[in-house]
Structures are given as structure tokens and as C-alpha cells.
Amino acid sequence: MSEAKRVESRPYHHGDLRRALVDAARRLLEAEGPSALSLRAVAREAGVSPAAPYHHFKDKAELLDAVAHEGWEILGAQMSEAKSGATGPDQLTALGIAYVCFARDNPALYRVMYDAARDKEDLPGDMQDNKESAYCMVRDTMIENGADPSQDGHLELASVAAWCGAHGLAEMAGFRQFDHLKEELGGERPFLEAVLNHMGLFPKAHDGC
């Protein structure tokens, strides 16, 4: 449908084709879902031949890795913002809510982020590499709010439990079977908060998404 934008500097034939391909992939992902994300379709969307992507990514998997990488960056940014909008233990809730809302608003991207990881049996590095990464933020926030870093096992256990709970909810929240529960609780937000609260990992919930 849409053409790749050709406004910026064009150092080579196509400008920054790598960039254009990742953008095209994300556009397709949002518009058509993960099943429509073929390498050929991405090339088509970027206005380029099916073989062109192979000079920027060794694999289809490597392209998806790049897309997933951006996903983790966006998630990290949104969680960081959510955290700074709250204080004390509420920060943990804010992180949880931000995580689940990200998954709700970008379901296809969220799937790509974990699919790549599942095949490798390795959590994506983007998730835990730097202080702005999603997992580390949860961990650090727990420490800031009284968890004992020296009692390392317990802290990590708490982080893992919180992560599992949030991920589970993120994957379940999309199913229609929970629509009536959402209505009953006054909308999707309250539903998400209620489940997170019930898990006891995220103390309370107040802030915006």
C-alpha cells in the first residue's frame, strides 16, 4: 500500500534501507498481524526486491530480532515513564500496569518480542542489558522500595514471579472469555489492575497508562 519515505539523506541506493525495512515490518505487523509478516512482504512494502533485505539481515529471524529490539526499547521507555510518574511502592504497580498495557496496545509486536526468544531458549538481551531495560527496572525498583539485595535469591525470585504474572496476564488479557469480567469491573484498566493486585506482586494501582 504505502510507499517508503524517501526524504532523508540517501547515502546509497535506497538511503538507509535497513531502517526502512524495520519500519515496513512494523507497519505490516500492526496492520496485518504477525502471520502476514513475510520477508517478501516486508521488501514489497519497502518498495524493494525480495533479495535486497539479505544485504542488511542474514535471516528473516535477524530482521525480526531488529523489530523485537525496538519493541523492547519502546517498552522500556514506557515503563520508565510510568515509574517516574509514581512514588514508593506504587512504582511497582505502575511498572506492572505499563507492561501489560504495552502488550495490550501492541499485541503483534509483543508476540514477536517473545517468539524470537522462545526459539533460542534465551531471554532477549534487550530485556536485561542496561538499567533502562524492562527486567532490570523491576528489579531495581524492588530494591529501592525495601527489598534486600544481599538476600539475592529472594529478590530475584520476586522479580521472576512479578515478571511471570505480568506476562501471563498480558497474554491472557486479549481473550474474549474475560470480556464479561472486564465489564463487571468497569473496563479493561480496572480488570488489569484487579488481577495484578490479586497476584500480590504489585501492591496497589493508581497511575495512568
Partner DNA sequence: ATCCTATCTGAGCATCGTTCAAATAAGAAA
Partner DNA sequence: TTTCTTATTTGAACGATGCTCAGATAGGAT
Among 53, 76, 96, 165, binds a copy of itself (CB under 8 A): 165
Residue 12: CB minimum distance to DNA, A: 4
Distance (Å, whole) CA 19 – CA 165: 34
Question: How far apart are CB 175 and a copy of itself at their closest, in Å?
Answer: 5
**With binding defined as CB under 7 A, does residue 10 bind DNA?**
yes
Of residues 3, 11, 55, 175, which one binds a copy of itself by CB under 8 A? 175
- The answer to the question of residue 142 lying near a copy of itself (CB under 8 A) is no
Q: Which of 63, 21, 62, 26 is nearest to 44 (CA)?
A: 21
Should residue 178 be labelled a site residue for DNA when binding is judged by CB under 7 A?
A: no
Number of residues interacting with DNA: please give it, by CB under 7 A: 24
Interface residues with a copy of itself (CB under 8 A) are 35, 111, 114, 117-119, 121-123, 128, 153, 156-158, 160-161, 163-169, 171-172, 174-178, 181, 184-185, 194-195, 198-201
